[in-house]
Amino acid sequence: MSSKTVREMIEENKSSKTNFRGVTEKVMPKFLLLCAIISVLTTFGIVFTLIFETFNFFSKVSFLEFITSPDWYPMHSNASFGIRPLILGTLTIAAIAILVALPLGLAAAIFLSEYASDRMRRIVKPVLEVLAGVPTIVYGFFALTFVTPLLQNIIPGLSIYNALSPGIVVGVMIIPMIASLSEDAMSAVPNAIREGAYAMGATKFEVAIKVVFPAALSGIIASIVLAISRAIGETMIVTVAGGANPTSAIDITNAIQTMTAYIVQISLGDAGYGTTAYYSIYAVGMTLFVFTLIMNLAAYFISRKFREVY
C-alpha cells in the first residue's frame, strides 16, 4: 500500500472528479425525469385517442343502444351496435380459461413452493417464465390445428371455430402466470411460520393448505386477477381459433367473437375508414380498457393488503 492514508486518497479523488460528479448529479435526474414523462405522455396519448374516437362513435350510435341492444351487426345494412355479444364472448373465454388455469396453476405453485427441491425449483421456474413468453399466435394455431381436432373427437358436434378450444388454450397460456406469481407469494411466507405448524404435528399437506396458502392468499388472488385480466385482453388465440360470430347465445361448442377479435377483424380492413363500424373499434377498445383497468386496480389493492399481513 502507498503511504497515503485512505482519507488522503478520498480527498484526492474528490478534487480530481468534482466537476464530473457534479455534472452527473445535475444531469441524471433530468434525464430520468424525461424518460418518465415520455412513458406517461404516451399512455395519456393512447387513452386520449381512445376517448376521442369513442366520442366520435357515440355521436353516430346512441350509448343506450351500445349497452342494451342484444345484437352486434356492425356491417349490416341495418346495423346494430350492442356490445353484449362481444362481452359475453370475452367472458366465456375468460371463464373457460380460468377453470383450466386455476386448479393447474395453483397445484403447480403449491408443488413448487412446498414440495419441490431447490434444484427442481431453479429449473422449473425459468421454464415457466419462458412458457409465458411464447408468442400468442403460436398458441392460436396450436388451438386451431391441434386442440380443436382433438376436442372434435370427443365432442362430435363441435364446430371448427368454437369457444372451448381457444378458452382452454388461453387457460394453458395463463397457467405459468398463476403458478409463478402464486409461487412467489407462497415462498414469501417466512419459514418460521411453517416450522410452527410442523412442530405441532402438522403434515406437509396441512402446512401447505392450512398455513402457507391462507398466509399467501392475497398474493395468490392478485395473481389470479392479473391472469383473468390477461385472458380478457388475449387477442391472437381467440382471433385464430374462436371464429367471428358475435352471439348472445352462450354455447361453447360454437363460434363466438370476443372484443379483441372484433378489433382485429375491423383493423384488418373489413370496414372502411370513417365508417361507423370503423369507429366502433374504439368504443369496444374503451370497454376492454375499462375491464382490464378494473382488474388491474383490483390486483393492485389486493396485493397492497397482502403486504400488511406479516
CA–CA distances in Å: residue 41 to residues 27, 35, 37, 282? 21, 10, 6, 19
188 lies in the site for other proteins, by CB under 8 A: no
Are 162 and 247 contacting, i.e. CB atoms less than 8 angstroms apart? Answer: no
Spatial contact of 92 and 165, defined as CB atoms under 8 Å apart: no
Rounded distance, CA 7 to CA 157, Å? Answer: 83
Cβ within 8 Å of residue 100, ≥6 positions away: 167, 168, 171, 172, 175
Cβ atoms 224, 180 nearer than 8 A: no
Under the binding rule (CB under 8 A), the answer on residue 29 touching other proteins is no
CB 163 within 8 A of CB 93: yes
Query: Is 120 a binder of other proteins (CB under 8 A)?
Result: no
Stretch that binds other proteins, among 75-83, 127-135, 185-193, 264-272 (CB under 8 A): 185-193
Judge contact between 63 and 54, C-beta under 8 A: no
With contacts defined by CB under 8 A, name the span among 107-115, 155-163, 173-181, 197-205 that binds other proteins. Answer: 197-205
The answer to the question of residue 268 lying near other proteins (CB under 8 A) is: no
Please tell me whether residue 115 binds other proteins under the rule CB under 8 A.
Answer: no
In sequence order, what are the residues at sequence separation of 6 or more whose Cβ sits closer than 8 angstroms to the Cβ of residue 44? none
Q: Report the alpha-carbon distance of residue 76 to residue 61 in Å, rounded.
A: 14
Identify which of residues 62 and 203 has a Cβ nearer to other proteins in the complex. Answer: 203
> What is the nearest approach in angstroms of other proteins to the Cβ of residue 302?
15
CB nearer to other proteins: give 181 or 211: 211
Q: How many residues bind other proteins (CB under 8 A)?
A: 19
**Binding of residue 195 to other proteins (CB under 8 A):** yes
Q: Which stretch binds other proteins (CB under 8 A): 10-18, 63-71, 195-203, 224-232?
A: 195-203
Task: Using the minimum distance from each CB to other proteins, give the nearer residue, 126 or 196.
Answer: 196
Kindly tell me which of 215 and 228 has the beta carbon lying closer to other proteins. 215
Residues 6+ apart with CB under 8 A from 36: none
Question: CB-wise, 109 or 147, nearer to other proteins?
Answer: 109
Contact (Cβ atoms closer than 8 angstroms) between residue 234 and residue 260: yes
Separation CA 150–CA 143 (nearest Å): 10
Sole binder of other proteins in the list 198, 252, 253, 292 (CB under 8 A): 198
Q: Which three cell numbers stand for residue 179?
A: 403458478
Instruction: Indicate whether 309 belongs to the interface with other proteins (CB under 8 A).
Output: yes
Quick note: the x/- pattern for other proteins over 199-228, rule CB under 8 A, is: xxxxx--x---xx--xx-------------
Using CB under 8 A, list all residues that contact other proteins: 190, 192-193, 195-203, 206, 210-211, 214-215, 309-310
